[in-house]
Amino acid sequence: MKIVYGTTNPAKLDHMRQMLEGLDIELIGLNDLDIKVKPINESGNHPLENARIKALAYYKAIKMPVFSCDSGLYIEGIEVEEQPGVHVRRVNNKELNDEEMIKHYSNLADRLGGVAKAKYKNAICLILDDNLLFEHDGEELASSSFLLVSNPHPNRNLGFPLDSISVKLETGKYYMDLTEDEIDGENRDDGNNITEGYRKFFINALGRKVVSV
């Protein structure tokens, strides 16, 4: 089954393809379509609201099965009004580029003593047709807790700038230095696994149509 992932970010598309590998889903991105979608006003205050806003806008434009994801960053030790939430890139009404994000959040970690415990909460909204919409934002889609640090790694991960200041809680290793197996392990939180969470979402929404053969 062909489904559009509502993103133009190749890193996010590749990552989702890896998570859904083995399921009968042909995943394509917005860059694979010969269409232009107007900028979307992501006005939601929570990841699920923004995922729904984007999915509805993309479905209206392309009239194909499409899903969108959104996430929010939540950091321990700062006030509610300071939480990045869904506005990870937007600070003081300015959209930050990758290097600006690294600088902003490394400075925040420095303000908190050099390290800050954080977590991503994720949400997904899938629209199959005019009458079928599925969405979810459960804890099984949330990341495990990790550390934001004030000293950035020298390398960069295109599309995921905060990997340069994110450190695995258990080992103290930068995300930039994790192996594929360690990255999969980092997706675990209280026994849950993000990859399995997304796979179960699609299997439940699409039924036996996407089960691997």
Which position has the higher pLDDT, 132 or 182? 132
- Answer yes or no: is pLDDT of 206 > 80: yes
The yes-or-no verdict on residue 137 having pLDDT over 80 is: yes
The pLDDT value recorded for residue 207 is 86
Render pLDDT for 100-128 as a digit per residue (tens, 0 to 9).
Answer: 999 999 999 999 999 999 999 999 999 99
DSSP letters, 90-130, are EETTEE--HHHHHHHHHHHHHHTTSEEEEEEEEEEEEEEET
Q: What is the mean pLDDT of residues 71-94?
A: 91
Supply the mean pLDDT for the chain: 90
pLDDT at residue number 187: 43
Residues 6+ apart with CB under 8 A from 194: 19, 122, 140, 141, 142, 143, 187
**Mean per-residue pLDDT for 155-183?**
89
Residue with tokens 């039924």: 207
Q: How far is CA 105 from CA 72, 98, 131, in A?
A: 14, 11, 41
- What is the pLDDT confidence band of residue 159, given thresholds at 50, 70 and 90? confident
Tokens of 190: 């209280």
Tell me which CATH code domain 2-210 carries: 3.90.950.10
For the chain, the domains span 2-210
For the segment 70-94, the average pLDDT, to the nearest whole number, is 92
Q: Residue 164, SS3? A: helix
Reply yes or no on whether the pLDDT at 211 is more than 60.
Answer: no
pLDDT digits (tens, 9 = 90+) for 145-155: 999 999 999 99
- Residue bearing the bigger pLDDT, 187 or 198: 198
